[in-house]
Amino acid sequence: MRASGLGLTSRNLKRIWYRCGFFVCFEVILLQRRTLLALIGMKDILAKAYAGGYGVGGFNGFDSISIMAALEECRARKSPVILICASIEYAALGPRGVAETAKALSDMMETDVCLHLDHGESHDVVVEAINGGFSSVMIDGSRLPFAENVEATRKVVEYAHSKGIHVEAELGAVGRVSSDTHEGAHGNSFTDPGEAAEFVDKTGCDFLAVSIGNAHGLYTAAPSFDFDCLARIRKAVPVPLVLHGGSGTPEDQLKKAVSLGMAKVNVASEIGQAFTRAYESAVAKKTWWAVAKNEAKLAMRDVIGKWIVRLGSEGKA
């Protein structure tokens, strides 16, 4: 049998069919693989950390260099990967650009990655991040009066949960101690344990960032955490807690905070400082800028590796 006008015999048609079938199957395998390595949520990561008494770093990642630094070091140490990125940090690429970069590098490294919106300052910013492909979000209403924070957070939780996304919220304002960060500009106030219980109950948030003496930026003096307050918060709420302003925290205070329920610890300023110092040092030696950026990436990896060890997440992926 010959297909009219095409010069195709039944034997040739079978060959084409088999080849097409092979490529279809191959494409399905690739799609399945990419599905397995798509950006993941934060809930399972923090549930395990909370139950296991260790912490997981939320490492600042917003471009290919910072994301790759975290991926390489976490993969080498078999640690879960949480990338944190605020809206001011995705200004260059946009939320979809950051999400697609994280997906591509996650696939290349064969490593699961959670991409988390840090300090989403409004409902619109959170929606933008979710629609852009972020797999976890934070709504920061800590600058608002309690009732307004509850309402703003509740609305975000309702929307995010409808999309299968989990939500971090903040109660009590985490301030800042240095000008190298844009976060925490609205002052500092400790989290009240009683309000924390009411807040989680009314909003349905999945994780809670609390203020116990911590601050954003690089500490100019050792902080003094209120561990009694933290212990009462942990007893009052059923969700994993989050420590913002991890950079520069003394190791003894860090370990105690983790033991009292701080399942995620954000690290940004130390990573940024490492990049800046390494890059400027390399450029000052007239190093080609592409090579200088790789040296800066290695400096970031060094910081991330130290935090993985401090938090106890090595081998927990």
pLDDT digits (tens, 9 = 90+) for 206-223: 999 999 987 755 655 567
Other beta carbons within 10 angstroms of residue 143's beta carbon come to 15
Which of 112, 118, 140, 206 does the annotation list as catalytic? 118
Q: Model confidence at 3, in pLDDT bands (50, 70, 90)?
A: very low
Q: pLDDT at position 224, please?
A: 75
Mean pLDDT of the chain: 86
Other beta carbons within 10 angstroms of residue 266's beta carbon come to 26
Q: pLDDT at position 272, please?
A: 95
118 is catalytic: yes
Which residue matches tokens 């009462």? 232
pLDDT digits (tens, 9 = 90+) for 295-310: 999 999 999 999 999 9
Which residue matches tokens 């600058």? 143
CA distances from residue 265 to 56, 157, 258, 287, 310 in whole angstroms, order as listed: 6, 21, 8, 34, 11
H or E element at residue 170: strand 167-171
In whole angstroms, give the CA distance from residue 168 to residue 119: 9
Q: Check residue 260 and report its DSSP letter.
A: T
Cα atoms in the 13 Å half-sphere on the side-chain side of 247: 24
Q: pLDDT at position 214, please?
A: 74
> Under a CB-based contact definition with an 8 Å cutoff, are residues 112 and 81 in contact?
yes
pLDDT digits (tens, 9 = 90+) for 165-208: 999 999 987 754 444 444 444 446 789 999 999 999 999 999 99
Which residue matches tokens 């990967």? 81
Which residue matches tokens 């950079």? 247
Other beta carbons within 10 angstroms of residue 39's beta carbon come to 20
pLDDT digits (tens, 9 = 90+) for 9-42: 555 434 443 444 433 343 334 444 444 457 999 9
Q: pLDDT at position 228, please?
A: 94
In whole angstroms, give the CA distance from residue 155 to residue 158: 5
In whole angstroms, give the CA distance from residue 96 to residue 93: 7
186: left (phi over 0), alpha (psi -120 to 50) or beta: alpha
* Predicted confidence (pLDDT) at residue 125 exceeds the cutoff of 60: yes
